[in-house]
Each structure stands twice: as structure tokens, then as C-alpha cells.
């Protein structure tokens, strides 16, 4: 009886609120895949943190826009000295932190120095490695001196790891993030969702949404049903590509397929027999059928790549024709390398679908040329330890989602075990070059070198499959960085 | 399994006749035999080679060439189900073997010795029983990595106390019986008595339990595979087939239908077989009927 | 009675201690560095080292075990590495989902199973008995996650009657309570069906046995009404195996719902521990497993007490 009465009461309340909602909605529930470990983007590498707080709660001096461009944020404007080594930033003067403390040059100095410090737990410390010193000129001006010119410096400052925090609240940001952004943190129901609300004291253009909830739905199937049942209104990164036809057929939803910065590769251990042989790597590259891989591992969405570079970038060079799918050629190369009957190797796979399903397809394709792969699926924890840290692997499949990260091929001791002084020289020059045309040319050279060396099997650019309510606008189509920027999101009607 | 029954020291020899009159037993036997046969055939022949993917032919519906359709990587689902049966049976069977092989001697020992050995073994049993089984299985596979062998270990460990309890209870009820007392009076040792008199007489009890644990093992394997902790590709498993089907159920429901049915039918067959066996073998219940 | 309970209690404590050794040592050999997982692929070695020291991972094993044990004894289960909040707080948050779900599923299965079992037993051999027990056989064989999938596609995607998953929190108003309750309906049904099938079978066989006893025949012969004999006399005496199974089922429901929680993405205990294992948040895994072991022991203890209540013979006997 009691249950029944409360059910009636609930129905009445639902009706009342529905009839009252004649003006456009101002609330939004987004489904995201992973729950972040905490909410401080300056103390963790997890993309799940940036996917909630970036541009919404925290802001940096600069920010990255929807097309990957560098935009002003807490720095209104800046000047660069002629030698490219001194940056002078002019700061917003009416910005405040969510706890009421004001934002000024001291906060900038504090944040950058904290990220650079010896005992810093910033996961992208390398972003700040070029900084020599940070100097407060006055409350609204900061001067940053670099050790050497760095072409990507303004871009680096736009990363989530470089956001500005206040000394008063920095320690508590993991649990209760306090930034300068247009949304304030409200609540974190662990295992379930994070809720943010509109910041009425925001310095810039106020946001349209009053309240947004990021709900954690790790399971692909569950996210689809949650969308269909209306529990969530947007899935910025849908995992279940095969369910798309069903959603596309439903006029309530909009499907937007964009690009990410994720180069999905079959990484090879260049330091280990027989993969240290160029001919073997070329043979593998010829054996890969990218169309089949994209169809099976990514439901047919995703642009094939021939090197470690995003096709959306203006410096992109199309190298997909370098190693066309050619089983005979592959077998011949393998024989020339001394493996006429192929060989056995391991393929270690992290959890995402593209890796697990792509792995089965690649194993089947390499079997055609006599290479028997043993598939070893692993959790992230094991993958990070065995493959990434200890380089104990032959082959693996992984999407490198950091933007513009071709320079990882120049890193010493990186898990590819790839060494090429010629390539390193190109990257060094790139570091010191600010001229855009010259930079593009160098990027082109870099792409060509690793493609010719067949360092890895270059598969495809990971798509961003966004699905949301057709009445919703302003969500990002592509993902140049990992973020769910809600500043321009609104309900139409 | 049926061959073993000829060696059963049942008090009455014509129980096979009885068994064949038992409806549960018959249906269960037919289903179980059919699944086992399917698994056996898959060792030599399947309609398609599932290690050669035809990605372009993915998620096809039912047709003459693919009676159960194809999955998200273009594999023939009938072939997957056949090989999956092999995986399910192998995992469950070995897990039962582990439980039986370790649990029965422990239970028999506890019953034969009594005293502190009995106490210690039964406390150990309590500890294992108190652990949440599924979570422990997840931990075990986290330590050793996912795979069929580790699924077997995880399921097998939890079979040990089950068999130990059944064996101990059965043995304890026999020790005070006249024929055992007679054997003791004749100077036979406890081990010999256990081997000669106790074990043969609790074998029917254990066989029924083994059938039940077998069915539970198939279910547990499906659950672990569903979580990605069971057999790994290219070896197909029914649980993972269901997991893969889940996101595609609205587009291609047959992906979820057949593996699910395979699990239900197998478990049903084993349970019916177990029930039938119990009716036929358990003298107490037989008296009541 | 008191001596019996005291002995059970002592045994329970020993079990707990043994369990703590097992849990701690199993987790010690888990591959994967928690600090690396928190900081990710590009973390620098000194940042990793700093975090390891902060987490206390540099200290000897025995010292950490003893600290952990002493902490638990005083109700301090430590802080989660990944969530940086106390383990007990996390557990309480998750219990707000898991406990009601378990109780809901158990009540559902009991409400279905006991009448069905009693009914079947009272009409043993009839067509109705055969059909219900056949249905129960099938119910036992259905994997609950498969059943859950079917429910979601019928009631959420197809009919749009109930949420497909997620848990909005219990909230403050009746409307919010109702929403939260609605989110638990499908998971509870999915969990309850196979359990009800098992329980119905156990109830039936226990009832069949009791109904064959002399005192039931006597009661019937004395002219007591059939239903009264069935429900008052027979069921009470058939309760012991039924209670045993119910205790096992409650223990299973508290921890064994990982798969169902994944299907419905419910923030329950099962998913907390599943995530904690994959993120190597060892302190959470240790704490939750210990609490679950403790609750199994408590449930068994409660079942023992229930035995004594339904069957006075046991009270005197032991």
C-alpha cells in the first residue's frame, strides 16, 4: 500500500515537472566510459579526468579549441620575444576561483612551478621541460623564459596538465576540484557519476546549461541501452560501433563521426628478433589488410593511416600506399629475411575493443604469411608494466591518443626500441622551429622516415563516434584533445 | 560416463534397467551425449575454419550456408558453438576432477581419522566457503592472467570443499555400520577400510554431486568468460560470445540467442542427468518412491 | 546454547584471521605497480617513486600486514589509492545499492519459491507438479546475465517501462526513492529467477520428506484441515534446508552480483571490487573481501540461530 501510494506521488511529481518544462532544458547527462581515479588533471594521466574537468572546471593560460587550434583562456593576450625565448602573458583581471579567491599572476607562477618541481606528480612533466623561469611582473602580467625556443609552447600550455590552480585549494583538487571555469564541481557519487553546475560568477560568456552529470558506463552495451531509454542524452565517445545502425534509424538521435588524435598501431618491438629485421617488419606491413581491420575492429569507421600522424593535421602526408596489402610480396620479404616458413610471436592486447577485435583479425591475417601469433589479453595494469615499461613483448595493438606525438619515436628507451639518428635530428630541429611552413615540412620528413622503416604497423585513426539527442547542440565533433567541453552546449527549442 | 556405471558396486545390479525407466535420467543422458558428441566432432570437423576470418561477411543472419549466422568477425556461429562446447566441457570436467581428486581424499581422511585432523580440515573448508567465489575467481585470474587453465583452477578450488563435505558426511554415516565394524574387528587398517568399503559405498553419492558440480562448472565458466576471464581467442567460449553479442543484440539478436541456448541446454541436460542418477542410485529416496 | 554460539563465534574469528592472511598474500603477488597505474604511461621515474613512498609501498610486507590488521581491528580500513577516500566510506556508498538489491532479490525469490515449492509438494506427481518442476529445472539452467539481457531488451528498449541501468541514488523525496527503486527492479528480477528455481526445488523436496513423516499423517488423521497441516506444521519442519539455502543465497547476492552489476552498470560492491582489482587498488580489494568474508560468517551465524528457533530439538541437542 505504501509503495503504491508513493508510486502515485512520484507519478504526479513527474507529470508536474514535465508540464513545467516548456522553456528549453538546462540539464544534461553524458555517458562516459571510464570513471576517473580523481579529478586533478595536474596529477594524473587518466584521460577520464580531462574528459570531465577540461574547459569546464579548470582553465589554463591557453586552451585548445574544437579544431585543435590554440585559443586564449586565462591569458587574454601574449607577446613572444624575437628570439622565441620569452613569453609575456597578459591575464584576465576579473577571473576568480570557485572558492572565491581571486586569480592573479601568483597563481600562474605557483601552478607552473608546481608542475615543474622535482617532486611533482604531474604526468606530463615533459610539457614544461623547456621552461627556465616564471616571473611575476605585476598582478596581471607573467613573463615565462625558456631555455630554448619551443615551437609548441603555447599548445603545450593548453593541455589539461597545464591548467592553473590556486595555492589555497591545489591540495584538495583530487576530491573537490576548484578552478576558474564556467562550471563548478558539485558532487561525485563514486562508481556512478560526477555532477557539475553553472558558475554564476564566471568571468566570460555564461554557459547555457545549469547542471551537467557525467555518468560512468564502462560497458558498451549498457551505454547504448541507457541512451535508448533516455537515461543519458549524449555519448560523446560511443564504444559500440555495431549498434550505430539502430541509433541512426532513430530520429531522436544525432550520430556524429569525427576524428580523434588516436593513431591506432600494431606496435612492434624493434629491438627483438626477428622484428629487428626491416624486411620482417615490411612483410608484416604488407600482410595487413587495413580495410578489414577497420571493418572488424572499428565497425568500418576510421581513416587508414600510413604513418604515425593524424590525417586531420595540415602537415599530414598520405603514406598508406607505401605497403599495400600484398600477401605474395609479404611472403617473399619474409623468405628474404630468412623466415620462409614464418615464425611464432606473441601479441599482447590491452582491454579496448579495437585492440581485442583488431588482434583477432591481425592474427588471422598474419597466419596467411606463416606468422603464428599467440594472443595474450591483459588488463591495463599488466600492459603498462609488461609492454610499456619492461618492453617484454613482440607485438601489441594500441591507440596513441596524445595529439602531435610523433616525437615519441625519438625518445630513447621508448617501448618500440626504435633508434634512428636521422629521425632524431628531424625532431630536434622541429623543437627549435617556430615557422609553420618549415614545421610542416619537418613533420612530413618525420612521417616518411618511420613509415619507410616500417617501425610499426600503422592501422587507422581512431574515430570519435558521438551520439546525442538531436535537440542538443555545441558538443565537439572531433576530439583534438581529450575533453568534453560543455561551454557552448545548449538545448534547442 | 555410462561405462563407469558397470563397475558401480550398487547393491542391485539391474539398476540400469531402472535408470532407463527414469525420465529425467533419459532426457539428461540424451542431451549430455548430444553435446559431448558435438564437442567430439568439433575436434575433427567444423562447418568452417573459425581461425580464418571473413570480416566482410560479418553479422549475417541465418542461411543455408550459415545455419546460425555469422558473428562480428564473420565467423560461422555453428562452428563457434561446437568448439565452444569443447571448451565448456573441458573446463568444467577438469574443475570437477580437481575438486573430486583433492576433496574426496580429504573428506574421507577427515572421517576416518576424526579428532584434530577432522577439525582442521573442516575449518579450512569453512574458510574457503566463506570466500565469495566469483570475486576470488576474479582475483585468481588477475594473478595468473585470464585463460582457460586459470578458469579451471578458480572453479576447481571451490569444488574441493564441496566434495570434501559430501565425502566426509557419507563416510561418517558408514563408519558405525556393521560391515565396517566387522572389517575393523578383522584387524583391517583405516586406510584399507576406506578404500575397500567406504569409498565404493559413497561413490553413487559422489557421482551425483559430480554431475551437479559439472553443471555449475559450465555456468561458472560462462560467467567468467563473459567477464573476459575465461578461454581466450582464438578459442571460442559461449560466455564471451554472449559478451560480444550484447552490444549488437538489437542489430543481430541471433548472436545472443544461440550461445545462450547452448548454455541453458547443456546445464539443463546435466542437471536432469544428476537428478535422474540420484533417484536411481540413492537408496533412501528409492525406498520412498 | 550459549556455549554452542560462543564456539561458533570463535571459529568465525579464526576463519577471519586465516582469510586475512590469504587475501593479503594473494594481493602481494598480483602483478602490476599501483603507482604506475595511477600516473600512467608518460610518468617520470621520480614522480613514480614519490607516489610509492606516499602510498607506503616501500615498507616491508610484514609491517604492512600488521598495520592493516591493527587498522581493521579499530575500524580503519585505510584509504583507497585511486579514490583517495576512506575504504569504509566507499563501502557504505556501495552498500546503499548492494544491500537493498540483495534483500529485494532474496525476498522476490522467497515469495515465489516457497509457495511454488509447497504447492508442488502437496500435489506430488500431478501434471502441475511436473510442469512447475520442469520450469524450475530450466530456471536453474539459465545464466542470470543472459536473462538480464532479455529483460533489458523487452522492458527497457522495447517497452521503455523500466530503466536499462544506472542508479540515480536514493535521494530525498519520494519521487527520487521511487526512481531508485525502479532502477533495481530488473536487476533484482534477473538475480531472483535462478535463485527462486533452486529454492523452489529445495522447498519441494524438503516438504515431500516432511509430508511422509508420521506426525503429519497423524495430524491429517486427526482431521486438521489440509492447508493448515501444510503451512503450519509441515513447512515449519521443512524450514531447515530452506533456511540453509537462503543463507547461502544472501551471501552470494552480496558479493556475487558482479556480472549483473556490469550488465546494469550499478555502482554496487561487486563492481567496486572488480574495478579495484583491475586498477590494483589493493587496499580496497583487501578491505572489501574481508568485509564480505565477515558477512558470510555472520550470515551463517544467523542461520544457526534460526535453526535453533525453528527446531527446538537442536537447541537442546547440541
pLDDT for B287 equals 38
In which band, very low, low, confident or very high, does the pLDDT at B42 lie, cut at 50, 70 and 90? very high
Assess whether C184 and C291 both reside in one domain: yes
Q: What is the CATH number that goes with domain A27-32+177-258+464-491?
A: 3.40.190.10
Chain A residues with CB within 8 Å of chain B CB: 219-221, 224, 239-240, 242-243, 245-246, 292-293, 295-296, 351, 356-357, 359-361, 363-364, 367, 375-379, 382
B221 vs chain C: nearest CA distance in angstroms? 11
Complex ipTM tops 0.95: no
Which one of B88, B127, B257 makes the best mutation probe of the C interface by having the most chain C beta carbons within 10 Å? B127
For residues C133 and C203, membership in a common domain is answered with yes
Would residue C82 count as lying in a domain? Answer: no
Residue B108 has pLDDT above 60, yes or no: yes
Q: Please check whether residue C276 lies inside any domain of the structure.
A: yes
For B251-275, the pLDDT digits (tens) are 788 888 899 999 999 999 999 999 8
Q: Is C223 helix (H, G, I), strand (E, B) or coil?
A: coil
Contact C83 A125 (CB under 8 A): no
CA dihedral (B275, B281, B282, B283) in degrees, to 10, reads: 150
CATH of the domain spanning A262-463? 3.10.105.10
Question: What number of C-beta contacts closer than 8 Å exist between A and C?
Answer: 151
Question: What ranges do the domains of chain A cover?
Answer: 27-32+177-258+464-491, 47-172, 262-463
User: Any chain A CB within 8 A of the CB of C55?
Assistant: no
Residues C266 and C224 in one domain: yes
| CATH code (residue C138) | 1.10.3720.10
C14 at the B interface (CB within 8 A)?
yes
Q: What is the pLDDT of residue C42?
A: 57
Same domain, C43 and C184: no
Q: For testing the chain A interface, which of B48, B55, B138, B237 should be mutated: the one with the most A CBs within 10 Å?
A: B55
Instruction: Based on the fold, state whether residues C217 and C110 are members of the same structural domain.
Output: yes
Minimal Cβ distance to B232: which of A239, A377, A382:
A377
User: What's residue A245's pLDDT?
Assistant: 82
Catalogue all structural domains in chain B, each as residue range(s) with its CATH number.
23-44+69-288 (1.10.3720.10)
Tell me the shortest Cα–Cα distance from A332 to chain C, in angstroms: 37
pLDDT at C298: 86
Q: Which residues between 249 and 278 in chain C have a beta carbon less than 8 angstroms from any beta carbon of chain A?
A: 262-265, 267-268, 271-272, 275, 278
Q: Rounded distance, CA B34 to CA B89, Å?
A: 12
Q: Is residue C83 part of a domain?
A: no
For each successive 10 residues of chain A (493 residues), what is the average pLDDT?
40 41 80 87 84 95 90 94 92 94 94 89 83 94 92 90 94 92 91 91 94 87 79 88 82 90 94 94 96 92 94 90 95 95 93 90 94 87 82 94 87 91 94 86 95 96 93 91 92 85
Residue partners of A345: CB distance under 8 A and separation at least 6? A275, A371, A372, A373, A374, A394, A395
* Pairwise pLDDT comparison (C101 vs B129), residue with the higher score: C101
pLDDT given for residue B269 in this prediction: 95
Q: If we measure between CA atoms, which residue out of A6, A156, A140, A148 comes closest to residue A74?
A: A140
List the subunits that have 3+ CB pairs under 8 angstroms with B. Answer: A, C
How many inter-chain contacts (B to C, CB under 8 Å) are there? 121
Residues of chain C with pLDDT under 70: 1, 37-44, 84, 256, 311-318
> Is CATH 3.10.450.50 the right assignment for the domain spanning A47-172?
no
Question: Which chains have 3+ CB pairs within 8 A of A?
Answer: B, C
pLDDT band at B137 (very low <50, low <70, confident <90, very high): confident
Distance from CA of A365 to the nearest CA of C (A): 29
Neighbours of chain C (3+ CB pairs under 8 A): A, B
Strand partners, A397: A266
- Domain end position, chosen among C25, C44, C73: C73
Q: Is the pLDDT of residue B1 over 50?
A: no
Whether residues C29 and B143 touch (CB distance < 8 A) is answered with: yes
**Cβ-based contacts of A377 with chain B (< 8 Å):** 146, 228, 232-233
Beta-carbon contacts of residue B27 (< 8 Å; ≥ 6 apart) = B269, B272, B276
To probe the interface with B, which of A239, A288, A296 has the most B CB atoms within 10 Å?
A296
Residues of C in contact with B239 (CB under 8 A): 143
Given this chain, do its domains A47-172 and A262-463 carry the same CATH topology?
Answer: no
Measured between alpha carbons, how far is B131 from C295 in angstroms, rounded to an integer? 10
Distance of residue C12 Cα from the nearest chain A Cα, in angstroms? 31
Q: Give the model's pLDDT for residue C79.
A: 80
Residue C79 domain flag: no
pLDDT of res. A9? 42
Closest-CA residue of chain A to C80: A37
Containing A422, the helix (H) or strand (E) segment is helix A421-432
Task: Give domain status of residue C185, yes or no.
Answer: yes
CB pair distance less than 8 Å for B251 and A356: no
The residue range of the domain holding C207 is 88-315
Average the pLDDT over B104-113 and give the result. Answer: 92
Max CA separation in chain B (angstroms) = 76
Nearest-Cα distance to chain A for B148, in Å, is 12
Q: Which residues touch A166 (CB under 8 Å, ≥6 apart)?
A: A97, A99, A101, A103, A107, A110, A178
Q: What's the total number of domains in chain C?
A: 2
CB A242 within 8 Å of CB B256 = no
For B135, the grid coordinates are: 570475486
B130–chain A nearest CA distance, Å? 26
- The answer to whether the Cβ–Cβ distance between B132 and C256 falls below 8 Å is yes
Judgement on whether residues C245 and C132 belong to the same structural domain of the protein: yes
Report pLDDT for C223: 77
Amino acid at each position: 500500500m505504501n509503495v503504491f501510494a508513493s508510486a502515485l506521488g512520484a507519478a504526479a511529481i513527474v507529470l508536474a515537472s514535465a508540464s513545467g518544462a516548456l522553456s528549453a532544458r538546462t540539464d544534461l547527462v553524458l555517458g562516459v566510459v571510464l570513471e576517473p581515479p580523481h579529478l586533478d588533471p595536474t596529477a594524473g594521466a587518466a584521460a577520464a579526468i580531462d574528459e570531465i574537468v577540461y574547459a569546464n572546471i579548470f582553465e589554463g593560460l591557453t586552451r585548445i579549441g574544437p579544431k585543435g587550434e590554440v585559443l586564449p583562456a586565462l591569458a587574454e593576450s601574449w607577446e613572444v620575444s624575437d628570439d622565441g625565448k620569452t613569453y609575456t602573458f597578459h591575464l584576465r583581471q576579473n577571473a576568480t576561483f570557485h572558492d572565491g579567491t581571486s586569480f592573479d599572476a601568483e597563481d600562474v607562477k605557483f601552478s607552473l612551478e608546481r608542475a615543474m618541481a622535482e617532486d611533482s606528480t604531474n604526468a606530463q612533466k615533459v610539457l614544461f621541460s623547456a621552461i627556465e623561469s616564471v616571473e611575476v611582473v605585476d598582478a596581471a602580467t607573467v613573463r615565462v623564459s625558456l631555455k630554448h625556443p619551443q615551437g609548441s609552447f603555447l599548445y603545450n600550455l593548453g593541455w589539461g596538465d597545464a591548467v592553473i590552480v590556486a595555492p589555497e585549494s591545489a591540495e584538495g583538487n583530487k576530491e573537490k576540484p576548484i578552478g576558474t571555469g564556467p562550471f563548478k564541481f558539485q558532487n561525485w557519487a563514486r562508481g556512478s557519476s560526477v555532477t557539475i553546475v553553472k558558475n554564476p560568477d564566471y568571468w566570460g560568456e555564461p554557459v547555457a546549461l545549469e547542471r551537467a552529470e557525467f555518468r560512468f558506463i564502462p560497458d558498451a552495451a549498457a551505454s547504448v541501452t541507457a541512451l535508448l531509454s533516455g537515461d543519458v542524452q549524449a555519448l560523446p565517445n560511443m564504444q559500440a560501433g555495431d549498434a550505430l545502425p539502430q541509433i541512426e534509424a532513430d530520429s531522436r538521435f544525432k550520430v556524429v563521426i569525427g576524428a580523434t588524435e588516436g593513431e591506432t598501431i600494431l606496435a612492434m618491438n624493434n629491438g627483438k628478433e626477428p622484428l629487428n629485421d626491416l624486411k620482417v617488419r615490411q612483410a608484416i606491413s604488407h600482410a595487413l589488410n587495413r580495410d578489414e581491420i577497420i571493418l572488424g575492429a572499428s565497425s568500418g569507421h576510421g581513416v587508414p593511416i600510413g604513418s604515425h600522424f593524424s590525417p586531420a593535421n595540415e602537415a599530414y602526408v598520405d603514406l598508406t600506399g607505401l605497403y599495400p596489402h600484398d600477401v605474395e610480396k609479404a611472403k617473399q620479404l619474409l623468405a628474404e629475411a630468412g623466415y620462409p616458413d614464418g615464425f611464432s610471436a606473441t601479441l599482447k592486447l590491452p582491454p579496448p575493443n579495437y585492440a581485442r577485435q583488431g588482434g583477432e583479425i591481425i592474427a588471422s591475417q598474419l597466419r596467411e604469411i606463416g606468422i603464428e601469433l599467440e594472443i595474450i589479453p591483459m588488463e591495463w595494469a599488466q600492459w603498462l608494466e609488461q609492454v610499456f615499461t619492461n618492453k617484454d613483448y613482440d607485438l601489441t595493438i594500441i591507440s596513441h591518443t596524445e595529439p602531435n606525438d610523433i616525437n615519441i619515436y625519438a625518445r630513447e628507451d621508448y617501448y618500440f626500441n626504435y633508434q634512428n639518428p636521422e629521425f632524431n635530428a628531424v625532431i630536434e630541429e622541429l623543437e627549435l622551429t617556430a615557422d609553420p611552413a618549415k614545421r610542416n615540412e619537418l613533420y612530413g620528413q618525420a612521417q616518411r622516415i618511420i613509415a619507410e622503416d616500417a617501425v610499426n604497423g600503422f592501422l587507422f585513426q581512431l574515430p570519435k563516434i558521438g551520439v546525442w539527442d538531436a535537440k542538443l547542440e555545441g558538443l565537439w565533433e572531433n576530439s583534438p584533445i581529450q575533453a568534453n567541453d560543455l561551454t557552448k552546449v545548449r538545448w534547442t527549442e | 560416463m555410462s561405462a563407469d556405471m558397470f563397475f558401480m558396486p550398487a547393491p542391485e545390479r539391474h539398476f540400469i534397467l531402472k535408470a532407463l525407466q527414469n525420465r529425467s535420467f533419459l532426457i539428461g543422458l540424451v542431451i549430455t551425449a548430444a553435446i559431448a558428441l558435438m564437442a567430439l566432432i568439433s575436434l575433427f570437423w567444423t562447418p568452417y575454419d573459425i581461425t580464418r576470418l571473413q570480416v566482410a561477411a560479418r553479422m549475417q543472419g541465418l542461411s543455408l550456408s550459415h545455419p546460425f549466422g555469422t558473428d562480428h568477425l564473420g565467423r560461422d556461429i555453428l562452428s563457434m558453438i561446437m568448439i565452444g562446447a569443447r571448451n565448456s566441457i573441458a573446463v568444467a570436467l577438469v574443475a570437477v576432477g580437481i575438486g573430486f581428486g583433492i576433496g574426496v581424499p580429504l573428506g574421507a581422511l577427515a572421517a576416518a581419522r576424526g579428532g584434530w585432523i577432522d577439525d582442521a580440515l573442516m575449518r579450512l573448508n569453512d574458510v574457503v566457503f566463506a570466500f565469495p567465489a566469483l570475486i576470488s575467481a576474479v582475483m585468481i585470474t588477475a594473478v595468473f592472467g585470464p585463460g582457460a587453465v586459470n578458469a579451471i583452477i578458480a572453479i576447481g578450488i571451490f569444488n574441493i570443499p564441496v566434495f570434501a563435505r559430501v565425502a566426509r558426511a557419507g563416510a561418517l554415516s558408514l563408519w558405525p555400520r556393521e560391515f565396517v565394524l566387522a572389517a575393523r574387528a578383522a584387524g583391517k587398517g583405516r586406510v584399507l577400510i576406506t578404500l575397500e568399503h567406504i569409498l565404493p559405498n559413497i561413490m553413487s553419492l559422489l557421482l551425483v554431486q559430480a554431475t551437479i558440480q559439472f553443471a555449475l562448472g559450465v555456468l561458472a565458466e560462462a560467467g567468467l568468460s563473459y567477464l573476459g576471464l575465461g578461454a581466450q581467442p582464438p578459442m571460442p567460449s559461449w560466455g564471451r560470445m554472449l559478451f560480444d553479442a550484447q552490444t549488437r543484440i538489437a542489430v543481430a539478436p541471433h548472436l545472443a540467442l544461440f550461445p545462450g541456448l547452448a548454455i541453458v541446454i547443456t546445464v539443463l541436460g546435466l542437471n536432469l542427468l544428476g537428478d535422474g542418477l540420484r533417484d536411481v542410485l540413492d537408496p533412501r529416496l528409492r525406498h520412498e518412491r | 546454547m550459549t556455549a554452542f554460539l560462543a564456539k561458533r563465534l570463535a571459529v568465525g574469528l579464526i576463519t577471519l584471521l586465516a582469510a586475512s592472511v590469504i587475501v593479503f598474500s594473494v594481493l602481494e603477488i598480483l602483478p602490476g605497480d599501483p603507482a604506475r597505474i595511477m600516473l600512467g604511461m608518460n610518468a617520470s621515474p621520480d614522480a613514480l617513486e614519490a607516489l610509492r613512498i606516499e602510498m607506503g609501498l616501500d615498507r616491508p610486507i610484514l609491517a604492512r600486514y600488521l598495520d592493516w590488521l591493527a587498522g581493521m581491528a579499530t575500524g580503519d580500513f585505510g584509504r583507497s589509492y585511486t579514490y583517495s577516500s576512506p575504504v569504509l566510506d566507499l563501502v557504505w556508498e556501495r552498500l546503499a545499492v548492494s544491500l537493498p538489491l540483495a534483500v529485494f532479490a532474496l525476498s522476490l525469490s522467497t515469495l515465489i519459491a516457497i509457495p511454488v515449492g509447497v504447492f508442488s509438494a502437496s500435489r506430488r506427481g500431478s501434471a502441475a507438479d511436473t510442469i512447475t518442476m520442469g520450469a524450475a529445472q530450466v530456471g536453474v539452467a539459465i545464466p542470470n546475465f543472459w536473462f538480464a539481457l532479455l529483460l533489458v531488451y523487452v522492458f527497457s528498449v522495447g517497452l521503455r517501462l523500466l530503466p536499462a541501468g544506472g542508479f540515480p541514488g536514493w535521494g530525498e523525496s519520494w519521487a527520487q526513492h521511487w526512481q531508485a527503486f525502479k532502477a533495481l527492479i530488473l536487476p533484482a528480477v534477473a538475480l531472483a529467477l535462478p535463485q527462486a528455481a533452486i529454492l523452489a526445488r529445495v522447498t519441494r523436496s524438503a516438504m515431500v520428506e516432511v509430508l511422509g513423516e508420521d506426525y503429519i499423517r497423524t495430524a491429517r488423521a486427526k482431521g486438521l484441515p489440509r492447508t493448515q497441516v501444510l503451512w503450519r506444521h509441515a513447512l515449519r519442519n521443512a524450514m531447515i534446508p530452506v533456511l540453509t539455502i537462503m543463507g547461502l543465497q544472501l551471501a552470494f547476492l552480496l558479493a556475487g552480483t558482479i556480472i549483473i552489476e556490469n550488465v546494469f552498470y550499478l555502482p554496487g560492491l561487486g563492481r567496486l571490487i572488480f574495478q579495484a582489482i583491475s586498477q590494483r587498488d589493493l587496499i580496497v580489494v583487501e578491505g572489501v573481501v574481508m568485509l564480505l568474508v565477515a558477512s558470510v560468517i555472520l550470515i551463517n551465524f544467523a542461520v544457526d540461530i534460526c535453526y535453533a528457533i525453528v527446531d527446538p530439538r537442536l537447541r537442546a541437542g547440541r
